[in-house]
Amino acid sequence: MARLVFENVSVRYPIYNARAQSLRHQFMRIATGGRIAAEAGHTVSVTALDEVSFELNSGDSIGLIGHNGAGKSTLLRTMAGIYTQDSGRIIREGRIATVLEIGSGMDPELSGYENILRMGMLMGMSLKEARSKIPEIEEFTELGDFLNLPVRTYSSGMTMRLMFAVGTSFQPEILLVDEMFGTGDAGFQEKAKARMHDLIANAEIFVFASHDHVMLGNLCSSVYELKHGKMTHLPDFHTKILEQSEQ
């Protein structure tokens, strides 16, 4: 059983400017009592998540919408345990997979096959397990002989296919996907959709951040909006989508 519970979770994000990241300025600040390099100490803090609470259980598939910088990626990363909350409580049960940024964890100089092993091992598989996933990934990505070529020769759509295939290959119980997933062509999107439906059918949790309302409507059973770090449920999201597509 997968479960993901947030109780009043807040994440504050320090943003360092070039001066705050400079050791020389920090020394100056200490040495001069802050008179000369007064600016150096100022790190702006952004509240990315503000007392967010929700509970997700097996079978839930939720969509996240919101403006750029509304905190969608921060929320996904906090769900994954990459960012740690400043306050509040998080309960995570189940194996988590993330498909967040295109090409992360891949070495562009190495071939597709080598990258499958690399990514698999980064995600905690043994070499043997990672090897055993290769046929399935070959089939899913349909990249054929391209898998023998270095990943730097791939288009972004191809990299996306590979990433998505590897990310979902070890049956995650909680799958977190960010935006960029739109780069694949129609054929791939169909396949990806089918795989996500499988995952959701296998009673797992799926969280998807996107600006593509139609896709959100297709994949997610409920949709939330993030605004100024607050999360609100949009109960009539699906009916609105229907209305829009009818117009």
Does position 122 interact with another protein (CB under 8 A)? The reply is yes
Does position 69 interact with another protein (CB under 8 A)? The reply is no
Burial (CB < 10 A; 0-12, 13-18, 19+), residue 225, is: middle
Which is closer to another protein, CB of 92 or CB of 195? 92
Stretch that binds another protein, among 22-30, 59-67, 181-189, 234-242 (CB under 8 A): 22-30
Of 126, 155, 221, 232, the one binding another protein by CB under 8 A: 126
Does position 21 interact with another protein (CB under 8 A)? The reply is yes
Minimum CB separation from another protein for residue 52, in Å?
18
Cβ-based neighbours of 35, under 8 Å, separated by 6 or more: none
Count of residues near another protein by CB under 8 A: 34
Of 55, 109, 139, 243, the one binding another protein by CB under 8 A: 109
Minimum CB separation from another protein for residue 125, in Å?
8
Of 34, 41, 81, 187, the one binding another protein by CB under 8 A: 81
Residues in the chain: 247
Tell me, residue by residue from 133 to 172, as one string, x for binding to another protein by CB under 8 A and - for no binding: -----------------x----------------------
Cβ-based neighbours of 34, under 8 Å, separated by 6 or more: 40, 41
Does position 33 interact with another protein (CB under 8 A)? The reply is no
Cα–Cα distance measured from residue 83 to residue 77, given in angstroms and rounded to the nearest whole number: 6
| Lateral strand order in the sheet of 230-234 | 96-99, 174-178, 205-209, 61-65, 222-227, 230-234
Does position 10 interact with another protein (CB under 8 A)? The reply is no
Identify which of 178, 181, 232, 237 has the alpha carbon closest to the alpha carbon of residue 209.
178
Does position 68 interact with another protein (CB under 8 A)? The reply is no
Residues 174-203 that bind another protein (CB under 8 A): none
What residues line the site for another protein (CB under 8 A)? 13-14, 16, 21-24, 26, 77, 80-84, 96, 98, 100-101, 103-105, 107, 109-110, 114, 117-118, 121-124, 126-127, 150
